[in-house]
Structure 1
Amino acid sequence: MGPARDRQTERVDVSEPASIATGIAQRYATAVFDIARDENGLDRLESDVDALSAALAESDDLRDLIANPVYGRDEQQAAITAIARKMDLSQTVTNVLALMAQKRRLFVLPQMLTALRERIATHKGEVTADVVSARALSDDQKSRLARTLSEKVGSDVKINATVDESLIGGLVVKVGSRMIDTSIASKLAQLQNTMKEAR
């Protein structure tokens, strides 16, 4: 009865409202950023953030590990520590991942990575552009897009690229509060609405 009750209690953490999860993520991000900055490790931190973001996008198992309440604290901590070592993440990031697992807070990892990316960009005087495309962008395409956006916003732009095959083609670009949607899916939706109105 004890273990079952423990697991039920742990499940509550995962279902906390998004605003609370964001607040938790922000606190972890602030601590990690401050430690990395004090140790002159921001370049390494940025590399870790990119690696973890890519791993989360590509691995169903990793997403399950951070979100599934079935895993116990020790099991989750051992698994995330092993993953961090295999990925050769910095000791700072490895330590915070282990702490998050022990505190049942790994589910906020995606929000923490977003918060860290924003802090790093601000520190470097960069603006991050979230770019969604139907197929993965090549390095050359990312560079050209970053240059074009930099000219428009007047700051260095870092591309945070993700893939959504449902877009069919084109891009959805978000820079701060500005969104530019040139996706074919969006154009088809607009066409469909126009046709409905014409009936």
Structure 2
Amino acid sequence: MASKASGIGEIARRYAAAIFELATEKAEIDGVADDFRRIQAMVEDSADLKRLLKSPIFSRKEQALAMAALAKKAEFSDITTNFIALAARNRRLFMLLDVIDRFFEHLSQQRGEVKADVLSAAALNKGQMASLQESLKKTFGKEVSLHTSVDASLIGGLIVRVGSRMIDSSLRTKIQKLQLAMKGIG
């Protein structure tokens, strides 16, 4: 199973590298990045779109037609539209979000940024995000691209992951540590 997952990851990496190279060559990197951000938001907001991408029940033709209509309505760039058509033709739409994630890894690397995955108990406002970004920039010495998500079970605080490093200042973890200390386990 691990080799299948790593094979898929390798294919996604190759697609992302090719798209990144083409978008850079055609000076459309920002347009493609914007298209990809909108696709991520659309997939997150639509269970039907998520099902279309992931489910093998849809034929190649059905996927291609639906995605072509979406690309036209959203007015995606030619690079994005052609990539989506190619992915549908090759039955690779299931890895679309993986390709997009890897594309953004290339973009961050080119811009000298690091990616920070931030999990918070509640949505962060612009001021909190700017403050966190500045703090992480000082810590890592690079521009930081924040990718936020919400998990109410944290109760409060944040969990920040940058590469292999993790900073957990969530109340959930602090409560767990306190419970263990009270039991004499920590």
TM-score relative to the length of structure 2: 0.89
In 1, Cα distance between equivalents of 2:5 and 2:125: 33
Q: What is residue 38 of structure 1 aligned with on the other side?
A: 25
Select between 142-151 and 46-55 the one with higher mean Cα deviation. Answer: 46-55
Q: Cα distance, 1:167 vs. partner?
A: 2.3
Q: Does 1:112 align with 2:99?
A: yes
- Report the CA distance between 1:57 and its aligned residue: 2.3
Identity %: 40
Q: Write the distance in 2 (CA, Å) between the matches of 1:67 and 1:192.
A: 41
Deviations 1:44-101 (A, max 9, x none): 1221222222222222222111111111101011112222233332211121111111
**2:15 aligned to which of 25, 28, 32:** 28
Cα distance in 2 for partners of 1:197, 1:68 equals 49
Q: How many residues align?
A: 184
Question: CA, structure 1 residues 197+84, in 2 after alignment: closer, same or farther (shift >3 Å)?
Answer: farther
Q: Distance in 2 between matches of 1:88 and 1:142?
A: 30
For 1:65 and 1:194, the matched residues in 2 are separated by 48
Partner secondary structure for residue 139 of structure 2: helix
State the AA in 1 paired with 2:145. K
Go from structure 1 to structure 2 and tell me whether the alpha carbon gap of 1:146 and 1:192 turns closer, same or farther (over 3 Å shift). same
Q: In structure 1, what is the Cα distance between the partners aligned to 2:140 and 2:155?
A: 27
SS of the residue aligned with 2:156?
A: coil
**What is the SS of the residue equivalent to 1:119?**
helix
Q: 1:195 to 1:57 in 2, by over 3 A?
A: farther
In structure 2, give the amino acid aligned to 1:128. Answer: K
Structure 2 equivalent of residue 185 of structure 1: 172
Tell me how far apart the structure 2 counterparts of residues 196 and 56 of structure 1 sit (CA, whole Å): 44
Q: Distance in 2 between matches of 1:58 and 1:196?
A: 43
Query: How far, CA to CA, are the matches of 1:26 and 1:179 in structure 2?
Result: 24
Q: Rate the CA distance shift 1:58–1:21 in 2: closer, same or farther, 3 A.
A: same
Pick closer, same or farther for the CA change 1:94–1:187 going to 2, 3 Å.
Answer: farther
Structure 2 unmatched runs, 5+ = none
Q: Which runs of 5+ in 1 are unaligned?
A: 1-15
CA RMSD in angstroms comes to 2.0
Match of 2:37 in 1: 50
1:73 pairs with 2:60: yes
TM-score by length of 1: 0.84
Structure 2 counterpart SS, 1:17: helix
1:143 aligns with 2:130: yes
Find 2:163's aligned residue among 176, 180, 188.
176
